[in-house]
Structure 1
């Protein structure tokens, strides 16, 4: 136990789809201060596929939130020893001086310097480019579930290559957003293995014959051959030649630059951990958590290998499903397997639903009874979800049925309103609702809302089923994100998937806490003695990561320490167990079969229409 004068603190920064936030934590993982600011997303009325943001806006929100947490906690900035970042897997574009370059086709396709320089993950403009990539049959497809998603970075880079003037395109650097944040913080162009393997078609050296990490033949095939000629300088370079690739939390550069430190109110040189995509930071911040109501106490302290049974579900606007394993498991339609995505030598798979929180909001907001719902919420001083759940409870009692899910026996929602990310990997899938009536009532809104929750849980079951069928052994879900606050939804998730669901200590803290762990890890690798590193696996000597060889050696030397920090800094959660009711299980089994049938029917109908319309 350290004295007050020896206390050290760490900051986690999380950039989600709609906000940037920071949290200051102590060595036990307690969050002492939090702050967040809304970020702006730009849409185009003329093209619903377009979602754009600005690194300038994002960075301003980050610096304000970091200032807030330091001042709000009254912690001396000299005691803040490390900072970690995570962000959505969005494409940030700058020139070689780090100045933003426009990615927007409007107004009038004025390419060049411009503040709207981020293509958000949800942006679907690169559909044709993804199709072109998927036709190549290149080996990189074996590491994205055999199908490249239009949400990934290389299809978006290829779209820009096709639309930008060649001279402008050649002046651009391309970052997955987490890597842009560490670049902005430190000035270092070092990239994270997580961003490169998950979103940038990078296959680590030694995997499947890969030599450089980047695959020259693939880039030539798709029309990005100039990047090969230039040693992939626009993507951060070739590791060991003109670039560096780090695993999660390894120290980036020399820590915070003087300029970034001044903007944040921190000390120059404060350690910066190599970043993660937000979903993977959520994995770091949840899967090592014990449970206050675990059936078997021994399961509360898994080692790194045994974490393979825990699926981290990071749920907000969309939902990501991350699971780590000691061996690479190829699951068609599920992203990965990704080697070294978090831990060196380990593999990650990532399933996902492109729209979950966004879908729930859409179903509610577009119903004719939305005004009545809001009015009732305002007049009774409740939020809209409390109104929905209270009314659903009343409807269940009035109908004299044993469970609310009996009320939606004839109302079926298929949830792919924004395409399917996993396990179909089919962006052309669309939402379906069967069982509609001429009903504008609040009751009808309640039932559509509830059926949507069921649909999202049924799709989660589909993803887990496909993962386990191919070799994973998932037996529990570790949740984080906004959906955790919805107790009805979490119980549905446990019942429909048939596994315990752990709710985190804080619904909002898991992802940002994961990033804070990365910041601490970086500080203790940098200089373990000056920051009081402790534990069986703590580094004994400072590590100066000056080249790729040192980075790779150090990543394996220190991986057990990262896991130890996760164990020590992740607060206990609480399990929600599946309801023990055979009839309810049978009901959900039938609903799952109907869910699977909806996929077959939609694809059959689309094929019939294609046959007629594409002649």
Structure 2
């Protein structure tokens, strides 16, 4: 009899990834299907929900088709999705608009208004979600003011994952973490928050039914099963958002373990056994299950910031580049060019807020740049400072979520984990060992593990620690860590100067 496989579907910012795993965590197949983000100079960042849904189905179908013909079955499908997407639909689930995603900045004025009035603090204390343009509660109020026709016509409001699940399975359920990231959810009571609903003019009846990700699975419609290339008997597990699932897929399920993810953007997160809140809304706390929460902070600036720099300076940095563009060069090759520069980049500091910033300052109008730049610095110095700045920023967020049990280890995921030089920098700056899984698709494995847990094939969420194939562990260089302690101080000063300019 063939070993049963399980599939994790990760619906991200720019693509849907379908990853098929054995039950001990080894990747058997993976496929990716991209979709566009529609942007404009006014801060728009939207996606066509049908394009996302079709790409997700195509990714699943392609992954299953890539298996040997006698192994093209999976025991279940779990779903991970990016947070903060938001859209209005009619009574039949027909989209009335594109989905607005996390990076949309058009509601910045409303977020500023609520902060200046103090109302943002009221909402944060009840929802655990910092008030920021990323948050659907702010997006909804913006739509109510700027597009009242759509607001009045809307029967329901939902995330991209909810839209897809309703189309595939006919369910109006929403998992706790997706609900929590909306800014409309009482993260302590696991119910919709009346204060937040009042803030943007919604009613509870217009939203999904919040459920634990450990709830029973769902059945695909015949049409959806055909689109995915599976039997209607294959159960669908609701899963969660990509943040807590990345922690789960890495095995970072205790408060002494920190997960760092750098993909297009970045994030740093820890699990908590109780809901917590932070001074000045410096970090989030989202519900995950009935007795687990995820704390941490997202950064707007991850590999997208490195990509920005790469577009500016690719040719001089890579010997024999031959005019390649940013998309032609992998991160590992690019980061290798910074190896010849000493830690701290000879006093050059880079504040990476070029896309605005979420944690820890939650200011969509924030701006970054180089500090301490002089004629002695080369482009390689600038590259080193960019790589360090992205990491220093994330570790500054970690300081905001420290508990009585400080983190002793870091678990890394995302595209940056494939760059040995960048991972070594993370170990050196943090002074902690960095554990690397064999697969960088941690959110997909977390979603797949939820499927196994709901079906009873896995004993518990925590048991995943015994089913994660690990790569090497990268240990910090003590001498470099001492240098980076001073660099972090300089970085904080540079960040404060940038904030003072706003």
Normalised TM-score (structure 1): 0.75
| 5+ residue gaps, structure 2 | none
- Specify the alignment match of 1:235 in structure 2: 207
- Specify the alignment match of 2:417 in structure 1: 484
Alignment of 1:159-558 (within 5 A): 159-166=142-149, 169-204=152-187, 207=188, 213-220=191-198, 222-224=199-201, 227-228=202-203, 232-236=204-208, 244-252=209-217, 254-287=218-251, 307-332=254-279, 333-338=281-286, 341-367=287-313, 370-373=314-317, 376-378=320-322, 383=329, 385=331, 388-389=334-335, 391-393=337-339, 395-396=340-341, 404-405=342-343, 408-437=345-374, 444-468=378-402, 470-507=403-440, 509-524=441-456, 533=457, 537=459
- Specify the alignment match of 2:110 in structure 1: 129
In structure 2, what is the Cα distance between the partners aligned to 1:132 and 1:188?
A: 36
In structure 1, what is the Cα distance between the partners aligned to 2:406 and 2:20?
A: 35
Deviation at 1:345, TM superposition (A): 1.3
In structure 1, what is the Cα distance between the partners aligned to 2:428 and 2:301?
A: 21
SS of residue paired to 2:76: strand
In structure 2, what is the Cα distance between the partners aligned to 1:18 and 1:223?
A: 28
2:432 and 2:476 in contact (8 A); partners too:
yes
- Specify the alignment match of 1:26 in structure 2: 22
1:37 and 1:65 in contact (8 A); partners too:
yes
C-alpha RMSD of the superposition: 2.7
In structure 1, what is the Cα distance between the partners aligned to 2:388 and 2:500?
A: 24
1:82 and 1:522 in contact (8 A); partners too:
no
> Bigger radius of gyration, 1 or 2?
1
- Specify the alignment match of 1:149 in structure 2: 132
Deviation at 1:421, TM superposition (A): 1.5
In structure 1, what is the Cα distance between the partners aligned to 2:31 and 2:311?
A: 28
- Specify the alignment match of 1:100 in structure 2: 95
Give the alignment partner of residue 469 of structure 2, picking from 551, 565, 571: 571
| 5+ residue gaps, structure 1 | 103-116, 237-243, 289-303, 397-403, 525-532, 538-560, 607-615
In structure 1, what is the Cα distance between the partners aligned to 2:161 and 2:129?
A: 24
Normalised TM-score (structure 2): 0.91
Over 3 Å counting, the alpha-carbon distance change for 1:580 and 1:587 in structure 2 is closer
1:42 and 1:52 in contact (8 A); partners too:
yes
Over 3 Å counting, the alpha-carbon distance change for 1:321 and 1:169 in structure 2 is farther
Deviation at 1:185, TM superposition (A): 2.2
Deviation at 1:257, TM superposition (A): 1.6
Deviation at 1:491, TM superposition (A): 0.9
SS of residue paired to 2:321: helix
Deviation at 1:494, TM superposition (A): 1.0
Deviation at 1:118, TM superposition (A): 1.2
In structure 2, what is the Cα distance between the partners aligned to 1:386 and 1:73?
A: 29
In structure 1, what is the Cα distance between the partners aligned to 2:177 and 2:129?
A: 18
SS of residue paired to 1:285: helix
Over 3 Å counting, the alpha-carbon distance change for 1:354 and 1:167 in structure 2 is closer
1:60 to 2:54 alignment: yes
SS of residue paired to 2:461: helix
How many residue pairs match? The answer is: 496
Give the alignment partner of residue 123 of structure 2, picking from 140, 145, 162: 140
